[in-house]
Chain A
Amino acid sequence: MPTRKSSKKSTKSTRKSRKTGTASAGSEEVVMWLRLPRAMSVAELQKLGIKGGDDICFGGDTCIAATSMRADVGIVVQADLQAALDKAGLSRRADPCFGGDTCIV
């Protein structure tokens, strides 16, 4: 688990933490990115102190983990949300909804 550790001290991640973007925000403090607001370049991410490589998966406008029913996904930011949704056979809650029996809230 990456919480409570600074990313500099985190040498080898657990399965979960390999799928998260963590960055140090001061001594012993951690900012764990779970969903990016948009596709961000590696350079942009590095400015936040988030390093690429095996630890994180970036790209895309939102997080596939928020919409995929896959159990093996921790937190992964995927390039093409719609393709991922199609693959999972799902639509976003943000999708149009005709209410009634199709409404989930």
Chain B
Amino acid sequence: MAWKASHYTHLIPLTSGDGVVYNGRSGALVKLSPGAFARCETLLSSSPHGKPLNSSVERDDLFAHLVAGSFVVEEDFDELAFIEDQYNRERSRSQFLLTILPTFGCNLGCDYCFVGKKKGAMDRERQDQIIEFVTKRFETQKFPKMAVDWFGGEPLLALPAIEYLSAAFLDLCSRYDTPYSAQVITNGTMMSDKAVDVMTNAGVDRLQITLDGLREIHDLRRPSKLRVISSFEQTILGLGKVVGKFVIRLRINVDKHNLPEAWRLLDFFAEQKWLGADIPFYPYLARISPFTDACASVATEVCSVDEFQETNTRWMKRLHEYGVPVAFQALYQFPEPKLYNCGAIGNNGFIFNPNGEIHKCGLAVDDSTEAIGMLGQELDADHANAVKWKEWTPLANPVCRGCEFLPSCLGGCPRNQMQMREVQKKENCQYYQQHENRILATHMELAQL
């Protein structure tokens, strides 16, 4: 049997002299001592890329490991075809993933918000139509899992809708023996005791809450529409009610202007005693980008991918010093092979906005021309908007087909690809090609293995 080096094997030297071998398709990861790492490099480069390795490599002690991790594959194994088959299979049987906007209303007025200026809450008739939509799908399909993201607007302005719909979802999942989980993406300012009770009873286990800095900066960037109230103070009060009760991903949207502010925020979290090994509180940086026309004005403010990643590496190290378990965590960009890359291209991913529109892409949820249908009506599988998502594949792109980072990227955001958003596409490639292996090395360093 002849063998070749996998197209997706990455050899990553560490500062200690050791090295890491990672395969993006299989996910296998090994650390090698310096001599073994050097020999591995020699073995894998013993023939030109894609050509059979010299048969003598099979006599090396390392070879069995290389086979086990799919770091080498049989010469006639078509890795790209394997990825393509897996991608098509997984998107067709994806988890039942709903994003529900119970309201477009929001008490904050963030200038970079990608949701447009629409207003209005979802009425009970629409909510009943969602239950009908979900029930019909349970009657005809078996889902591995149902997951709901509550989004908006500010979803906690619509607690009765969350309460009402969640009760129905939990009942359906119980009847059909399907695991259920839910997340609320909230600005954290509406965190009353009632809201905590509703979320707990609604099967919510994760919250994503955003802070952009300490009071002065946060209030400037994420101002309350009632100008006399500090949104920062409100969010901190809210956090005090939920830290320790839910898994909290604390998002900090950063651009050129508030990047330094993130460090002060981290010190503030430490003062609050929210950072540590036993507290499910995970602050992470998110790079602001002009995702939609509604937030296009931020284009000149964004920090570069390189600048962001450099800061992010230091951020991970500081969190590690505070005892936050960062190493090997997906939230902190630890690479993993993806099965498919976006809910929008999964067959079972839907977004409902307050007007009853059904969408695929969260970034277009305020654009009625992008809807794939309406609640209360049969979904037309041949609707042009639906077909667009169903047929999109990164494997149609020759650059992606040849890329050694394909398994963990899968083309990035499909919307960026479809709309030929060249800046975003370029930044996505830059992230994987220049930073993914560095990030993996950082995780190794932090893990101290």
Contact = CB atoms under 8 A, between A and B. Distances in A.
Interface residues of B, number: 81
Contact of A32 (B32, B251, B343, B361): B32
Contacts of A100: 114, 291-292, 362-363
A63 B277 contact: no
B181 A20 contact: no
Given A65-B328, A71-B277, A23 B65 contact: yes
Contacts of B97: 96
Given A25-B65, A65-B328, 7 more contacts: A25-B33, A34-B29, A48-B68, A67-B329, A73-B325, A101-B114, A101-B208
A30 B39 CA distance: 12
A101 B185 contact: yes
20 contacts: A2-B449, A3-B16, A16-B449, A29-B32, A29-B33, A33-B29, A36-B68, A37-B26, A48-B64, A63-B29, A67-B329, A82-B179, A89-B206, A90-B247, A90-B331, A96-B95, A96-B344, A101-B210, A102-B208, A104-B284
4 cross-chain pairs, A with B, having the tightest CB-CB distances, nearest first: A96-B343, A98-B362, A71-B277, A37-B26
A3 B415 contact: no
B64 A99 contact: no
B145 interface: yes
Given A29-B33, A30-B32, A98 B342 contact: yes
Given A25-B65, A71-B277, A66 B334 contact: yes
Query: Considering residues A4, A65, A94, A96, which has the most beta carbons from chain B within 10 angstroms of its beta carbon?
Result: A96
Interface residues of A, number: 59
Interface in A23-59: 23-26, 28-38, 40, 44, 47-49
Nearest to B144: A82
User: Which of B27, B144, B447, B448 is the most central at the interface, judged by chain A CB atoms within 10 Å of its CB?
Assistant: B27
B18 interface: yes
B403 interface: no
Given A96-B343, A102-B208, A35 B149 contact: no
Given A4-B33, A37-B27, A94-B338, A44 B349 contact: no
